[in-house]
Structure formats: structure tokens, C-alpha cells
Structure 1
Amino acid sequence: MRVQFRGLGLLIAFVFLTSIGCAARAQEAWNAHFQSTYVRQFKPTFHSPYAGPNSLSGQAETSYSFTGTAAFGLRLPSATEVYFDPEIAQGIAMSGLLGLAGFPNGELAKTSGDKPKAYVARLFARHTVELGGESQSLESSANQLGGATTANRLILTAGVLSVLDIFDVNAYAHDPRMQFMNWALMTHAAYDYAADSRGYTQGLAAEYIVGNWALRAGRFAVPKEPNQLQLDHHLFTHFSDQIEASHDYELAGQSGTVRLLMFRMRAVMARYGDALGDEGPPQPLADVRRGNQVKQGFGLNVEHHLSEDLGAFARAFRADGKTETYAFTEADASVSAGLQLKGSAWTRSDDVLGLGVARSSLAAEHRRYLQDGGATFFLGDGALRYRPEQDLELYYSADLAHGLFLTGDAQRIRNPGYNADRGPVSVYSIRLRWES
């Protein structure tokens, strides 16, 4: 297995420097956790009077994905922890992962194929500076050593990881291996967060937590080309910065969290305005890419406990809409909301029922580019009768045995690829997950 991480020296230096002079705490010294997730999906035929080079096929299709991950954590004789997650992935996407904004399986990537591929998903160090306050317990889990820390603390992280490990976390809509599978529900659809085509990146982040307030900031590497595997390691030239403020609150006796997120990306990108002409078809985006183009956006993320078993979430995000989709999916604005209910009422306390809705939309120049026959990385029907894409997802996750879960999932997508001439599309899924 090859680790493509030019910043390994930075990680080693980070571990060494943060280890100096730190007293060890009596906590979990190491851990090892494992997961495997298999998803099988089926899409029947749907109304499709025409299609283009990047359309979702109107014919019936099946799809599958498999991932297996080992997560190892080690505590150094200090307040520093090191984590290593080797991962294997395999899968075939519907229509080559084209024709939608809200793709129905968050486990699939362009780099998936019918043969297993092994790679390093995470290799990072985390250092905690305790700043006092009440003691808080941390449960042992993947990428988290069990033990105790203080309510007030500074957390520094560097290495290979996912931006979503730190930013835009939500208790009810975040993990496609256990919760909603649609891309528009696992995070903001319009949040073009830094990632290679598997969803991982390299960078640094700091989290400053005081009581029920937290401030997070990070800089991460972007791909050299949109939605590709190879990252650009020039973090002072091309990068993605994010900053997030969060507040834990209590309302009517129930707890919740609100998060405000902003990001700014600088990369070699195309602007839709540069590709559009007064007459004739638009230029390919690859022909108008320029260095140091800027993309930015901001969003709100709320989760709230309505009762011991019922929780709700909502997200809203807007990007500037002037530059092409670079690392996530095709959306310039998005909103989503939903509910999650545990099965205590029917004596299945570890079962979960989830219902979510999402709406994604495009900025004016983005939709005009598609209307004029342009093709982007994910979209291109050859024409476009624009309407916002709408996603509905319902799932039920059943606890079969300790660490083994079976999920039934149904999704309904209106205006696939923002095209009112096509669809709606139904997708039915079975997900089997094992974790330890």
C-alpha cells in the first residue's frame, strides 16, 4: 500500500514538537476499531425524453459499493495522539456517477471500480492543550482514544483526514455508512469542501473550545484538477480555508447545537462567465481554467433534541456560484432538514428511523452554461429546463446483533440534474454494516 503524503515530514515534526514537556494522563493507551459497509442499490426506469453526455441513464440500473476500514489509535507519552486508517473500497456507480447533485450513495466515488483498491484514508496527529474547566469523558471509538479531558481546551490536528471529520458535524445527518446516504443530506450540497476524489485531503486545523462555545479553523489541500485523486501540496498558493463557530444551547429543556461555517478556496478553476459566449455553444471548462481563482460560501447547521429519542436537523448553505464545482457536487445553494427517531417506543432502542429532504439549486451563470449545452464534471443533459433538484430519503436501520446493522432505504429525486424534463427518479437500497 502506497502512502501519497508529501507532508509526512510536517506530521512527524508536529508530533515531536507537541510531545515536548507534556505530562501523560491515565487514559486509553491505544485502540483498534474496524468497519465494513456494503450497499446495494436499484433504480427502475424513469421518464427521460432526451439525454446528454453526462446524464443519469433513464434505464433501470443497479449499483453497489463496499468499504472496509481499520482505525488504529496510539497515545504518545504526552497529550498527543496518532491515528492511522488503512481502507479498501470497491464499487460500481449508476451511470458512472453522473447526472445528479444529490447522488444516492455517499460511499461511492469516481475512483471506485469492480476491483478492490487499498489506500490510506487517514494518517494524522492530534494534540490537546487542556485549559481547565470540568472534566469530560471521551468514549473509545474510531479515531478517538477513550479517556478524559477538560471542558476548555485547544485541539491541533495535522495530517491526512477528511474535512468533514472536523467541520459541519451533525449528530443526525453526517455519516452515509450509518445515517442518510444521499450526498445532499450527509453535508451541505453546496459546500465544495476540499477533498480528493475519495473524500480525503491533507492539512492542518485548530479547535478552541471554551464551555459551550467552539471556534474551528483549518487549511487543506485541494485537488490539482477538479474531482481528481492527486492533491496540490502548495498550501500557500492553492488551498481551502474554513472557519466554523459553534454553540451548544438548551431550549425548553432540550439540548442542541448551532454551527456557522464559512469557506474560501483558491485553485486553478474555470469561471462560467469566461466559458459563455454571446453566440454558439459554450467553451469546455478545461479551456478557461485559470490559476488563483477564488470560490467562497457560508452556511448554517442546526441539530436539536426534541426528546430522548427524537432529534431534528436543518442545514442551509450558499456559495458564490461563479466558479465550477471543484471537489464535491454540483450545487450553488442548498437547504436540507429532517428527523431521526430511535426505536424505543417499539422496544428496539438501537434501531433508527430517519426522514430527510433536501433542495439544491444553481446560480444563473451555472444554469445558463448547462442550458446552452455545456457539460460540467457531473452534469450535461445537452439541454436544460431548469428546476431545483429535490431529494427525499427515508431509511430504517435495524440492529441485528452487536455491531451488525441492516438498513432499508428509499429515495425519490425530482428534477434530476436540475432538469424538469427528466424524472422523477426512485432509488431503493439495502445497506449492511459491521463495526467493532
Structure 2
Amino acid sequence: MAATAVPIVAHADDVEEETWGVKGQATYIWQKKPSFDAAYSGPNSLGTQAEKGYSFSGTLFLGVRPWRGGELYFNPEVVQAVPMSGLTGLGGMMNSEQQKGSSPNPTFYRARLFLRQTWGFGGDRQALESAPNQLAGMVDKRRLVLTVGNFSIIDIFDSNAYAHDGRTQFLNWALSTYGAYDYAGDTRGYTWGAAAEYYYDDWVLRGGRFMVPLESNGQRLDTRLTKYHGDQIELEHDHTIGAQPGKVRVLFFRNKEIMGSFSDALAYAALNGGTPDVASVRTGQIKYGYGVNLEQSLSDDIGVFARASRNDGKTETYSFSEIERSLSTGISVKGSSWHRENDTVGLALIQNGLSKAHQEYLAAGGLGVFIGDGRLNYRPERILEAYYSFSVSKGISLTADLQRFYNPAYNADRGPVTVGSLRLHAEF
């Protein structure tokens, strides 16, 4: 699932306002890992045997401008996938295009259906180019944007020019957004809600409330938006260092959901016997967290990024990855210096961690949605990812990607393991 980009055009006078638009994309990702060593395996372990997996997605981005300042978008989507090890055994998952409800049969559904309304308040004029879920046109640099409907939270929050889109950039889940950002969404990553964005020259303030799943990592959403919800607020600042642009974003999120806490599960098992299970102690709980996101251009062809995030680590993962502390950094280089200006090389490092309560829960044999080896020799999970995206022709790219996982699922008794990937991406 890719987030919506907001490309900006250098020459504002060249942009004419679009009244409608049709765009599309298709992405196929093939992955393979060899066998690797492990002292033991559990119900949710990454399999030690050699494995292959794949994912396919196809999306249409349909948009129309029904009135001045208004935009209406509809995205039908199809996915088909077979994940390795049933999508278990890692904190930072190896393919952000994989969905929790993956199936070897094609599944068609509505990915997005939303309305965007923009009110201008003056300042300089800014040109936006035609892009998926964005109609070309002019906007004020001081404006209010309201988005209401069905979409992904990370379409709007926690963007990053170099690490945000698994269809064209890094593949790992923990590089598509903050690793510890348990943002509300169904098993496909989409939800219903509203977000407001206030742009004032180089500053942007965003806030939004969204539906959460009825149950942990479920497909059905809870419509009781006043009682259970996911809230987030983000502040962004654009800056220039050495004539090169950059951005800093700070985000805070707070979810109210029916969740089980790790300490309650451990206490319940101590009193009643058996293995601790968060499903046996679910009740209304609050989860909160925060993140800092940096991106900086060093030249026309080189950009760097970094993210740091953390959540309170008291309760089970509800919508995203089983990560409660995460650091990531990386670099993206365009191929101009070797006469391949449309090619891109990327290199990134990730370190993911768990709270003390979550460590104790897993060590006692507890399971999460994605991880649980039956016991635990805890170490932070570390991931190295590198890719080369080769431009085949306009709109078509072929990418070779390599990921190296140390302490998969935070367990020093397992791994390391290497995953190789090939990605074919086309857009129009």
C-alpha cells in the first residue's frame, strides 16, 4: 500500500488546473530466503527452511474536481499474495506490500473513497503537479485542507521523500513509516475518518481521528468513533540548509481500543495457570506514542533520512508491526553520476525493540499476531536493507533488493537470515 505523494512543480506558470484524472499502478514483488540456523522455533517463528513468497497489487487512482477547491477520489484495488512463514517471525516485516489477509487468489476491493476540500488564505502561490490522488493546479501556501472518507492514515501523516513507498523505495515495513506507529487500519491498512491540515508558509499542522478495528488486527472497523478511535497530531517544518531543502516532522498518536496488556496477561496466567495470552484480558485501553522524522537533500541527486519512534509498550499490537521502539536511517542516490538519472540506489539501517513487559510476555511463551518463538533470548532486532531501482522505460522500473535480519523477532537464538527480492513496478 503506497501513500499519496504531494509533488511540487518548480515553474508555477506551467501548471494548468485539472478537472479530472486517471492514473494507475501495478507492482509484483518476488522474495526468497535460504535456510538458516535457530536453536528452536515456536508457533509464530520465521521458518528456518528455504522459502519463497510473492505479492501483487494493482490500483486505479480516479479523481474529479466537482466544485472549486473540492476533489473526490476513488481507488479500486486488487491484491494477490503468498507471504513467507504466514507473515510471522519478524518485527520489521520484509515486504510492506504484504497484507495480513493475504491470499493466493486475487482479491478486489475499494482501497480509498474520500473527499478533499481546500480553502486558500493567501500568501505565495504553489503549483501541485498531476499525481495519484492529486489533481494538478495552483494552491495558496497558506491554506486549510480537510480530507474525509476512506483512506490510509499514512497517506497524510509521516510522509518522507526517501522512505515511504514500498512500491518504489525500500521494502521493509519499518521504513514505510515509524516502526512504533500502531496507526489505526484494517488488515489492508485502510480506515475511515477525517484529517485537517493547516499550511502556513513553511509550517504545516495536521490532526485527525480515525476508526480502529473491532478486534486486534481485524478487517471490520469499529464505527463507535466517539468511544474507540485513533487520534494523531503532526507538526512539519520545511527548511533549507546550504541551498538544499529538508523537512522535520514530529508526530504524537493516541489510540483507544479494546486491547490486552502484557502485564495483565502475565498476572492472569500466574493465577490461573497456562501460557499468558493477551486475548484473555482484553478491555478498553489507551496506547500512545510519538515519532520524529527527518529528511534532507544533500545535492540534486543525494538525500538522507532518519526516523525515531516509541510507544508505551503496555498493550498488544492492534494494527501495525510488533515494534515499540524503532530507529532508522538511510541514504538515497540518483544515478546521474553514472548516466542513469532515473535509477536510484538506497541503503538503510533499522533497529527495532520491545518494552520490558512485552519481552517478559514472549519469554513466558506468549504469542503476538506476528511474533512468538515460545521463549526469548532478547536482543534488539537489526535490519540492513539495500536496493537498486533500474528504470526500464518511462513508468516501468525493476528493482533488486537485499535485506539482512539480525535477531529476527528480537531473538538472539535465531538467525541471522538474508532475504532477496525482485520488484517490477509500472505506473501510468
Q: State, as a whole percentage, how many aligned pairs show the same letter.
A: 51
| Correspondence for 1:15 | none
1:148-167 alignment, distance < 5 Å: 148-167=138-157
Q: Choose 171-180 or 46-55, whichever is displaced more.
A: 46-55
| Correspondence for 2:321 | 329
User: What SS is found at the alignment partner of 2:248?
Assistant: strand
User: What SS is found at the alignment partner of 1:325?
Assistant: coil
User: What SS is found at the alignment partner of 2:373?
Assistant: coil
User: What SS is found at the alignment partner of 2:314?
Assistant: coil
| Correspondence for 1:10 | none
User: What SS is found at the alignment partner of 2:412?
Assistant: coil
Aligned with 2:115 (options 125, 138, 142): 125
Q: Tell me, in whole angstroms, the C-alpha distance in 2 between the residues paired with 1:135 and 1:187.
A: 29
Aligned with 1:74 (options 50, 64, 77): 64
Q: Tell me, in whole angstroms, the C-alpha distance in 1 between the residues paired with 2:339 and 2:137.
A: 31
Aligned with 1:139 (options 129, 133, 147): 129
Aligned with 1:108 (options 87, 95, 98): 98
State the shift of 1:413 in Å: 0.4
Aligned 8 A contact 2:276 2:361 in 1: no
| Correspondence for 1:31 | 21
1:54 maps to 2:47: no
User: What SS is found at the alignment partner of 2:358?
Assistant: helix
Q: Tell me, in whole angstroms, the C-alpha distance in 2 between the residues paired with 1:425 and 1:371.
A: 21
Q: Which amino acid aligns with 1:285?
A: V
| Correspondence for 1:339 | 331
Q: Tell me, in whole angstroms, the C-alpha distance in 2 between the residues paired with 1:174 and 1:180.
A: 8
Q: Tell me, in whole angstroms, the C-alpha distance in 1 between the residues paired with 2:358 and 2:64.
A: 46
Structure 1: 4+ residue segments shifted above 6 A: none
1:285 maps to 2:278: yes
| Correspondence for 1:435 | 427
**Residues 165-216 of structure 1: per-residue CA shift (max 9 Å, x gap):** 0000000000000000001111111110111110111100000000000000
| Correspondence for 1:270 | 260
Q: CA RMSD in A?
A: 1.1
Q: Given the two structures, how large is their TM-score scaled by the length of structure 1?
A: 0.93
Q: Tell me, in whole angstroms, the C-alpha distance in 2 between the residues paired with 1:414 and 1:281.
A: 31
| Correspondence for 1:386 | 378
**Residues 107-164 of structure 1: per-residue CA shift (max 9 Å, x gap):** 0012111100000100000000001011111100110001111111000000000000
| Correspondence for 1:172 | 162
Q: Tell me, in whole angstroms, the C-alpha distance in 2 between the residues paired with 1:283 and 1:433.
A: 43
Aligned 8 A contact 1:281 1:372 in 2: no
Q: Tell me, in whole angstroms, the C-alpha distance in 1 between the residues paired with 2:75 and 2:316.
A: 31
Aligned 8 A contact 2:276 2:364 in 1: no
Structure 2 unmatched ranges of 5 or more: 1-14
| Correspondence for 2:401 | 409
State the shift of 1:281 in Å: 4.5
Aligned 8 A contact 2:37 2:414 in 1: yes
Q: Which amino acid aligns with 1:73?
A: G
User: What SS is found at the alignment partner of 2:133?
Assistant: coil
Q: Given the two structures, how large is their TM-score scaled by the length of structure 2?
A: 0.95
State the shift of 1:252 in Å: 2.2
Q: Tell me, in whole angstroms, the C-alpha distance in 1 between the residues paired with 2:275 and 2:191.
A: 32
Aligned with 1:206 (options 176, 196, 199): 196
Q: Which amino acid aligns with 2:351?
A: R
State the shift of 1:77 in Å: 2.2
> What is the number of equivalent residue pairs in this alignment?
411
**Residues 32-77 of structure 1: per-residue CA shift (max 9 Å, x gap):** 0010000000010011121111110000000000000000000012
User: What SS is found at the alignment partner of 1:417?
Assistant: helix
